[in-house]
């Protein structure tokens, strides 16, 4: 039994260093793994430092348990303080950061955390130098042990342990992560339970319980920290991996490896060097029991090369510089490793170049491959020269080393295979991205103004599905400050949790986008708001892709995708998203231009109301939607005296009045689309789905009372009036055009009855409409059938009373309706566009008649011809009439063109140029109906005219004693002051004739002298004058 026990103790003693060595590897690589995940988080950095301290502690435990001399045992025990002395301080520091207690920390508190480290070093140094450590150390059945009777070092260890344990438990008890925080729930319990377990495992060692049971062993300390480090490792890796997915980062052109894969290979190379160092130390020291110092040279070299490469990856230097440094290290390590192990490990030393050649192949780096190959050949040649004949034996260490090397080679082979497999996957994924982007671009290219809503909804649905997002939205900004943004949304997840998160996400985004309504839509402003949103979402653990939609250096919208269960989208997804956003901007720009064209074509530019073309469609749809028994009404509204407002106050005030007027009327209608601007101051409205005519009357009266109101602009009050005509559906008509025509006729009837009234269409009005419709149809054949004729009213000299000219007046001799006066058919001809053709006929016929009289020997008199505004707005100087004038067929010196002031409204500058052109040919120009509107008075000095014709209303008012005469004299004097000839129209009595002649007017025209007459009657008058 005794022999068996001794054998077991011997076996246990042999394996103790290996167990501590496993602890060393665990602590070291767990620290490296955590630090590689996040180099900035203080929790991760502190864990790394604590792992290094535990690794040092474990290494000292390996050396203590392995050595057989008291001197070495004392040395390694002394150096172990650089491990355990820091562990508890770093553990406490880690928990302070983890529980976010650092907000309450100051310099004194941090000094209290790390101060005991120096006390620990001082007590150990005292025990070492005083010989107390050597006196208490002895070799037991399981290795070196230490008598824990109280002395400065052991007393301090007990005090330090209990104080740190109390602080750890206090921090964990006070730790209350908020709901939604990563550590809320089971992860906090994991950290707490693992900490408590580690403290409990360390308690027997500190209290000396192991010694009482004969299990005392120096260096057991690192074992009790294993549960805590394991728990922290699990939690921290889980936290770093939350929502993380493998990213497909596209390598640069001509390279197989992306930047991330490139760094990953170097990371693995650093780990191979570190592992090689650990393995070399284990084989040489633990198994072969070689001298520690000699072995440490090679071990330290490999170890520090690995650490150097690892930390070099974290340094911010250029990739090329870093690669050159690492490649040089790799190449130089080939002869060093090969020659070092040549005599000790011939079985695997040759394989070192193979591993590095595989690394060169993986990098697709020709320079590295050449350098590695050249160094490998040189090394093998040196090996040949130095050891021309070599023989060796394979034992356990050699077999283990060879397995290690081949595991590295196999691992590199699999890694390279994985690189090329992932590269292929990247190509395939890139093709998928390009195909998806192509499909989305095609979808957007098909978008039109009317389909933009459905296209954007489909685009969002496809984006959310393909990008594996939980939320997607497109926000289109309004062009107006504080305007309403258009928003399109798509949710990816249908479960309750997804709906709750989506609503919260959407609410935060909407809240921030409200700010865009109050700032200029510059890219800088919008990106600032986007960064605020992304920062806020990162705290909520939400991954966001969001970009402004920019067109012509102006942000017109935002596109956003959000995901709650993934860490990020890789580069391919990001590029696809960016491309789609750019194409979206092009699409929205195109749609916006189409919208502008659409609005120009179908909406009034000033008021934003539908124009007549669109209103006809709306009216047609509204009438078709009428239910049986319902009444609809079409209203034609005309603002009274609006022209005077424009003339006196300016068009800007008139425009403001129209906009304000529309804003008052629209709320009275069921829909904004039920109102249209028909002309300058004319509006159409429809009142659908009314019960009867009485309801229509109530609505019309409400609209009329609103239209008759006072408007205030620039501290000036303006009163308006209105006349409204009403046509009922289906009583009056069923076709939109007929209803509008009847409402128009009813409006004119309301005007003739006086202002501020409304008239509902009657049978008499409809008869008038039918009559005008017949006139409209017959007008198309009047010229062809030679139904038009000209009457001529002589103009006499104000001094002599002789005829100085005649005015050509159009008459229509209808074969069935008889003589139709101009006041009836000219307005209709203008509306249907026949007036230019009629004016051409009148001009031609008047010139022909005047030429006929001249050729018959009558005295040469002036022929005046009225030209309507519509004719003047067209290419009048290009007509056949003026062509004959230029060729000398008619003498232009005896031709006079009469225009009204309305002619100037079409295009004042253009009309002015045409009048100058006519005067340049020798014709004279007269302004007809002068004085009946205020605008002619203001523009008189600008007009290229020769004569004004004072309207008959000023002659009729001459009986109003001094007032009428003063008004007449004022107009007369104004014309004379500008050097114009004066023609007075409408003189019908002797008193009027004498008054006008007394004022010295140039020409007089009226029934008192001559009525309009056929051309033969004019000839009789001319003969009388000659005789």
Residue showing tokens 């605008």: 935
| Torsion angle of C-alpha atoms 489, 490, 496, 501, degrees rounded to 10 | -60
Q: Average pLDDT of 750-767?
A: 85
Tally helices (H) and strands (E) across the chain: 38, 22
Q: What are the distances in angstroms from CA 160 to CA 78, 165, 497?
A: 17, 8, 48
* Kind and range of the H or E run holding 898: strand 895-899
Instruction: For residue 419, count other CB atoms closer than 10 A to its CB.
Output: 20
Out of 373-387, 399-413, 498-512, least confident range? 399-413
303 vs 261, residue with greater confidence: 303
CA distance 869 to 836: 9
Q: Average pLDDT of 848-874?
A: 87
Question: CA angle, 635 as apex, 632 and 640 as ends, to 5°?
Answer: 165
| The pLDDT of residue 1 | 38
How sure is the predictor about 740, in pLDDT bands with cuts at 50, 70 and 90?
Answer: very high
pLDDT at residue 839 tops 80? yes
Out of 50-59, 568-577, 721-730, 959-968, least confident range? 959-968
Q: What SS3 string covers 921-945? A: HCCEEEEEEECCCCHHHHHHHHCCC
| The pLDDT of residue 1003 | 95
Give the burial class of 935: count Cβ atoms within 10 A of its Cβ; 0-12 exposed, 13-18 middle, 19 or more buried: middle
pLDDT at residue 796 tops 90? yes
pTM (two decimals)? 0.43
* pLDDT tens-place string over residues 58-77: 888 777 777 767 787 777 77
How sure is the predictor about 889, in pLDDT bands with cuts at 50, 70 and 90?
Answer: confident
CB 477 within 8 A of CB 514: no
CATH class in words for 446-600: alpha beta
CA distance 256 to 362: 8
Instruction: State the alpha helices, DSSP H only, in 514-555.
Output: 523-539
% of the chain exceeding 90 in pLDDT? 15
pLDDT at residue 718 tops 70? yes
CA distance 515 to 520: 10
How sure is the predictor about 518, in pLDDT bands with cuts at 50, 70 and 90?
Answer: low
Q: Which of 171, 175, 133 is nearest to 152 (CA)?
A: 133
* pLDDT tens-place string over residues 897-944: 998 876 765 566 777 888 888 888 889 999 988 766 544 555 667 788
Q: Where are the domains of the chain?
A: 13-242, 446-600, 608-761, 778-1026
pLDDT at residue 777 tops 60? yes
* pLDDT tens-place string over residues 91-138: 888 888 888 888 888 888 888 888 888 887 887 787 777 777 777 676
The token duo for 449 is 């103004």
| Cβ within 8 Å of residue 304, ≥6 positions away | none
pLDDT at residue 11 tops 60? no
Q: Average pLDDT of 370-374?
A: 74
How sure is the predictor about 190, in pLDDT bands with cuts at 50, 70 and 90?
Answer: confident
CATH class in words for 778-1026: alpha beta
Does CATH number 3.40.50.720 belong to domain 608-761? Answer: no
pLDDT at residue 560 tops 80? yes
| The pLDDT of residue 203 | 76
| The pLDDT of residue 211 | 61
pLDDT at residue 605 tops 80? yes
CA distance 219 to 165: 19
179 vs 34, residue with greater confidence: 34
Q: Average pLDDT of 811-828?
A: 89
Out of 281-285, 388-392, 583-587, 651-655, least confident range? 388-392
Give the burial class of 821: count Cβ atoms within 10 A of its Cβ; 0-12 exposed, 13-18 middle, 19 or more buried: exposed
CA distance 664 to 685: 14
Q: Which of 58, 72, 70, 216 is nearest to 146 (CA)?
A: 216
| The pLDDT of residue 2 | 40
Average pLDDT, the chain: 78
The token duo for 178 is 């908020």
CA distance 138 to 73: 10
The token duo for 848 is 């022909």
pLDDT at residue 245 tops 60? no
| The pLDDT of residue 925 | 92
Q: Average pLDDT of 357-382?
A: 69
Provide the b/e sequence for 427-437 (b: ≥16 CB within 10 Å). Answer: eebbeebeebb
C-alpha of 596 from chain center: 19
% of the chain exceeding 70 in pLDDT? 76
CA distance 53 to 51: 5
Residue showing tokens 């090689």: 276
* pLDDT tens-place string over residues 1008-1022: 999 999 999 999 999
How sure is the predictor about 646, in pLDDT bands with cuts at 50, 70 and 90?
Answer: confident
Q: How many residues in the chain? A: 1027
* pLDDT tens-place string over residues 437-495: 888 888 777 777 667 778 888 888 888 888 888 888 888 876 655 555 677 888 875 54
**ω into residue 730 within 30 of 0, thus cis?**
yes
Out of 1-5, 623-627, 805-809, least confident range? 1-5
How sure is the predictor about 884, in pLDDT bands with cuts at 50, 70 and 90?
Answer: low
CB 578 within 8 A of CB 572: no
Instruction: For residue 530, count other CB atoms closer than 10 A to its CB.
Output: 20
| The pLDDT of residue 248 | 45
Q: Which CATH code, of 1.10.3470, 2.20.25, 1.10.287, 1.20.1070, is assigned to 13-242?
A: 1.20.1070
pLDDT at residue 810 tops 80? yes
């Amino acid at each position: 039994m005794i022999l068996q026990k001794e054998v077991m103790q011997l076996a246990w003693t042999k394996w103790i260093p290996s167990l501590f060595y496993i602890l060393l590897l665990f602590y070291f690589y767990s620290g490296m793994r955590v630090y590689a995940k996040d180099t900035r988080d203080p929790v991760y950095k502190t864990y790394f430092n604590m792992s290094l301290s535990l690794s040092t502690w474990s290494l000292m435990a390996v050396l203590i348990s392995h050595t057989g001399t008291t001197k070495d045992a004392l040395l390694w025990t002394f150096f172990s303080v650089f491990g355990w002395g820091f562990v508890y301080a770093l553990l406490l520091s880690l928990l302070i950061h983890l529980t976010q207690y650092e907000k309450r920390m100051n310099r004194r508190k941090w000094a209290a955390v790390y101060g005991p480290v120096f006390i620990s070093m001082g007590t150990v140094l005292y025990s070492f130098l005083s010989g107390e450590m050597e006196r208490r150390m002895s070799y037991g059945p399981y290795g070196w042990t230490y008598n824990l009777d109280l002395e400065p070092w052991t007393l301090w260890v007990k005090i330090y342990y209990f104080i740190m344990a109390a602080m750890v438990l206090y921090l964990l008890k006070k730790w209350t992560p908020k709901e939604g925080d990563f550590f809320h729930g089971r992860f906090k319990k994991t950290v707490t339970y693992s900490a408590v377990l580690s403290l409990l495992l360390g308690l027997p060692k500190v209290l000396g319980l192991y010694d009482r049971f004969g299990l005392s062993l120096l260096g057991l300390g690192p074992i009790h920290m294993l549960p805590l480090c394991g728990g922290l490792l699990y939690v921290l890796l889980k936290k770093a991996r939350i929502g993380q997915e493998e990213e497909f980062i596209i390598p640069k052109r001509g390279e197989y490896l992306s930047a991330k894969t490139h760094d990953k290979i170097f990371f693995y190379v650093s780990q191979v060097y570190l592992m090689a160092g650990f393995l070399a130390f284990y084989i040489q020291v633990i198994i072969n029991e070689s001298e520690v110092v000699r072995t440490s040279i090679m071990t330290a070299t490999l170890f520090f090369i690995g650490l150097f490469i690892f930390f070099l990856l974290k340094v911010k230097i250029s990739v090329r510089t870093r690669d050159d440094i690492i490649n040089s290290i790799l190449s130089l390590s080939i002869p060093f490793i090969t020659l070092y192990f040549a005599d000790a490990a011939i079985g695997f030393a040759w394989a070192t170049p193979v591993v590095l050649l595989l690394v060169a192949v993986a990098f697709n780096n020709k320079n590295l491959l050449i350098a590695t190959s050249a160094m490998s050949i040189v090394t093998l040649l040196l090996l040949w020269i130095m050891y021309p004949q070599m023989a060796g034996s394979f034992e356990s260490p050699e077999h283990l080393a060879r397995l290690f090397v081949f595991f590295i080679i196999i691992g590199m082979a699999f890694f390279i295979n994985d690189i090329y497999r992932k590269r292929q996957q990247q190509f395939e994924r890139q093709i998928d991205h390009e195909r998806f982007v192509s499909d989305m671009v095609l979808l957007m290219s098909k978008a039109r103004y009317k389909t933009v809503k459905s296209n954007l909804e489909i685009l969002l649905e496809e984006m959310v599905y393909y990008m594996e997002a939980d939320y997607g939205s497109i926000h289109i900004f309004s062009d107006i400050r504080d305007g309403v943004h258009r928003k399109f949304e798509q949710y990816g997840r249908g479960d309750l949790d997804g709906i709750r998160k989506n609503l919260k996400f959407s609410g935060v985004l909407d809240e921030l986008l409200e700010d865009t309504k109050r700032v200029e839509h510059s890219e800088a402003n919008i990106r600032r708001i986007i960064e605020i949103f992304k920062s806020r979402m990162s705290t909520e653990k939400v991954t966001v892709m969001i970009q402004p939609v920019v067109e012509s250096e102006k942000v017109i919208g935002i596109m956003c995708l959000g995901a709650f269960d993934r860490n990020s989208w890789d580069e391919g997804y990001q590029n696809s998203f960016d491309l789609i956003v750019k194409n979206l901007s092009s699409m929205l720009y195109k749609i916006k231009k189409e919208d502008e064209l659409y609005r120009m074509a179908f909406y009034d530019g000033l008021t934003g109301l539908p124009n007549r073309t669109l209103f006809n469609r709306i009216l047609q749809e509204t009438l078709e939607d009428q239910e049986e028994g319902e009444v609809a009404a079409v209203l034609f509204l005309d603002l009274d005296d609006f022209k005077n407002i424009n003339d006196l106050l300016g068009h800007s005030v008139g425009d403001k009045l129209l906009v304000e007027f529309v804003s008052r009327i629209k709320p009275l209608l069921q829909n904004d689309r039920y109102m249209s601007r028909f002309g300058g101051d004319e509006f159409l409205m429809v009142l659908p789905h009314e019960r009867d005519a009485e309801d229509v009357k109530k609505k019309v009266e409400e609209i009329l009372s609103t239209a008759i109101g006072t408007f205030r602009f620039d501290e000036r009050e303006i009163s308006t009036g209105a006349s409204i005509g009403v046509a009922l559906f289906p009583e009056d008509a069923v076709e939109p055009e007929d209803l509008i025509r009847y409402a128009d006729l009813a409006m004119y009837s309301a005007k003739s009855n006086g202002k501020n009234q409304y008239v509902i269409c009657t049978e008499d009005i409809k008869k008038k409409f039918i009559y005008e419709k017949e006139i409209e149809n017959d007008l198309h054949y009047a010229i062809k059938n030679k139904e038009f004729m000209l009457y001529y009213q002589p103009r006499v000299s104000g001094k002599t009373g002789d005829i100085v000219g005649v005015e050509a007046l159009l008459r229509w001799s209808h074969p069935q309706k008889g003589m139709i006066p101009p006041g009836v058919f000219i307005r209709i001809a203008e509306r249907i566009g026949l007036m230019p053709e009629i004016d051409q006929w009148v001009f031609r016929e008047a010139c022909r008649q005047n030429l006929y009289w001249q050729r018959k020997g009558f005295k040469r008199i002036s022929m005046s011809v009225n030209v309507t505004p519509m004719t003047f707005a067209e290419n009048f100087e290009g007509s056949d009439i003026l062509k004959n004038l230029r060729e000398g067929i008619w003498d232009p010196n005896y031709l006079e063109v009469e225009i009204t002031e309305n002619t100037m409204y079409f295009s004042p500058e253009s009309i002015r140029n045409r009048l100058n052109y006519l005067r340049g040919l020798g014709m004279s120009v007269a302004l007809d109906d002068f004085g009946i509107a205020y605008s002619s008075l203001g523009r008189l000095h600008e007009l290229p005219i020769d004569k004004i014709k004072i309207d008959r209303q000023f002659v009729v008012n001459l009986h109003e004693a001094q007032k009428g005469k003063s008004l007449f004299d004022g107009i007369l004097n104004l014309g004379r002051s500008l050097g114009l000839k004066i023609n007075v129209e409408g003189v019908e009595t002797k008193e009027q004739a004498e008054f006008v002649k007394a004022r010295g007017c140039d020409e007089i025209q009226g029934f008192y002298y001559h009525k309009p007459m056929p051309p033969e009657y004019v000839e009789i008058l001319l003969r009388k004058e000659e005789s």
